[in-house]
Amino acid sequence: MSGKVRRLLDWIDARFPLSAFWEKHVAGYYVPKKLNFWYLFGFLMLLALALQVLSGIWLAMIYKPDATLLPGTQTSVALASIRHFMEHVPGGKAIRYMHTTGTSLLFALMYLHIFRGLLYGSYKKPRELLWLLGMVLFWLMMMEAFFGQVLPWGQMSYWSTQVVMHLFESIPFIGKALADFLRGDYTVSGITLNRFFALHVVAVPLMLLLLVKLHLVALHAVGSTSPDGKEIREEVDLLTGKPADGVPLLSHAMHHLIAAAVFLAIFYALVCFAPALGGYFVDELNAVPADPYSTPAELRPMWYFAPFYAMLRAVPAWGGTQIWGAITITAAVLLPALLPWLDRSPVKSIRLRGWQYRAGVIVLAGCFVGLGVAGLMPPLDFVLGLSRLLTGGYFVFLIIHFFDDRA
């Protein structure tokens, strides 16, 4: 390091613990030697989240959260502002598609990241809080995606809000008042749009960033699992005092760089060549102006909500109330938070566990993916029947490892 840089660094270090931070969290932070492909997704999510914030800020510069109709049309100011940006502002299309594609890729990364947790027992002691903070991130991401989908004020926006507010309305006694409070109105309206805008661009992103920070604090307190099931901090090299099976984070830097390059290439290719991806990334129904007097026949959820949508569609009314569907999807979203206590086996890595757990994880993931596929299909009888079966499977295989406490 040249003398000038050295002096600048010293100047900073006397006022702010920059070098100490770098040493603690990067240069001197030890991770397992054997980290594999599955451990890249957290890093990629940080990258994707940063890009999402960037494209989001640019979108917020042109977007108008206003459900008023343009005179003589059925189109709201909100929808028109997005249309204008895409059709008449150079680069507007690219920014919008970066935001929509980014959402889908973030969810893909998140589901893979969570699946890694199942493969390597990442939620087990001492990582319970790390897992819980991750679950909160998952819930926040779902809220963020939902609020974002409302903003164009198209048919998907309107009818998904109608359904979500009715999920609350189905709560006995207080449901109606609660839904009116959340909507800010007696029906879904421009008031609802305005507050969801505030939540989407300020409240939820702030919480997301805070939670990411806490997630990383927890991670660095306990360190990563190793795919071979060892805890690297338990075996310290006597000479160096560092984990024997560990390496400094930076020695994986090349892998991270390559992963980022591949991810960005995929991202860029999608934005340029398949931004809507056949309706999976951008649903053309949401380009149709919101119409409170017509529910489109082809309504379909976004793919990342499809498993939960399939569950809602699969649970029949019973005892004069539809609340069972609402309870089912709430449980489906909350229950994985209890995995650290549901899976009682002390063995972490799937490599060291019996066939029961291996089969269980495959069936659980299969049920979830199957529900996603079912949720995107039209409601034929066999699709509904299958959804019921898979919903049952999802819950059974989430809970079943409670009974597998073999070491």
**Residues of the shown chain interacting with ligand HEM in the complex, contacts defined by CB under 6 A:** 39, 41-43, 45-46, 49, 110, 113-114, 117, 120, 122-123, 127, 130-131, 134-135, 137-138, 212, 215, 219, 224-225
| Residue listed under structure tokens 């970066």 | 98
Cβ 143 to another protein shortest distance, Å: 16
Within 10 Å of residue 196's Cβ, how many Cβ atoms?
25
Q: What is the DSSP string of 196-245?
A: HHHIIIIIHHHHHHHHHHHHHHHHHHH----TTS--GGGSB-TTT-SBTT
- Is 128 an interacting residue with respect to another protein (CB under 8 A)? no
Does 322 sit near another protein (CB under 8 A)? yes
Q: Which does 131 bind (CB under 5 to 8 A by kind): ligand HEM, another protein, none?
A: ligand HEM
- Footprint of another protein on 172-201 (CB under 8 A): 180-181, 183-187, 191, 195
312 near another protein, judged by CB under 8 A: yes
**Selected binder of another protein within 297, 355, 382, 403 (CB under 8 A):** 297
> Among ligand HEM, another protein, none, what does residue 215 contact (CB within 5–8 Å per kind)?
ligand HEM
CB-based burial of residue 286 (10 Å sphere; 0-12 exposed, 13-18 middle, 19+ buried)? buried
Residue from 47, 60, 129, 162 binding another protein (CB under 8 A): 162
Q: In angstroms, give the least distance from the CB of 334 to another protein.
A: 20
**Residue 159 lies near another protein (rule: CB under 8 A):** yes
Q: Smallest distance, Å, CB 121 to ligand HEM?
A: 8
Provide the token pair at 402: 């409670």
**Stretches 1-9, 61-69, 218-226, 291-299: which one binds another protein (CB under 8 A)?**
291-299
Q: How far is CA 117 from CA 42, 111, 225, 320, 397, in A?
A: 11, 10, 9, 39, 15
Tokens of 65: 């959260």
Pairing assessment for the beta strands 246-248 and 30-32 based on DSSP bridges: antiparallel
- Sign of the torsion angle spanned by Cα atoms 289, 294, 296, 299: positive
135's contact among ligand HEM, another protein, none, with CB below 5 to 8 A by partner kind, is ligand HEM
Q: Of all helices (H) and strands (E), which one includes residue 163? A: helix 155-169
CA distance linking residue 88 with residue 223, whole number of Å: 49
Instruction: For residue 206, state whether it binds another protein (rule: CB under 8 A).
Output: no
Structure tokens of 214? Answer: 């806490």
The answer to whether 103 and 131 have CB atoms below 8 angstroms apart is: no
- Residue 191 binds which one of another protein, ligand HEM, none, with CB within 5 to 8 A depending on kind? another protein
Q: How far is the CB of 100 from ligand HEM (least distance, A)?
A: 17
Q: Applying CB under 8 A, does 373 fall inside the site for another protein?
A: no
CB of 49 to another protein, least distance (A): 28
Cα 66–chain centre separation: 27
Decide: 67 and 76 in contact? Cβ < 8 Å: yes
User: How far apart are CB 110 and ligand HEM at their closest, in Å?
Assistant: 5
Q: Does 169 bind another protein (CB under 8 A)?
A: yes
Which tokens belong to 375?
């949720």
Q: Which does 173 bind (CB under 5 to 8 A by kind): ligand HEM, another protein, none?
A: none
- Binding region for another protein (CB under 8 A): 159, 162-163, 165-167, 169-170, 180-181, 183-187, 191, 195, 293-299, 312-313, 315-318, 320-322, 325, 379, 384
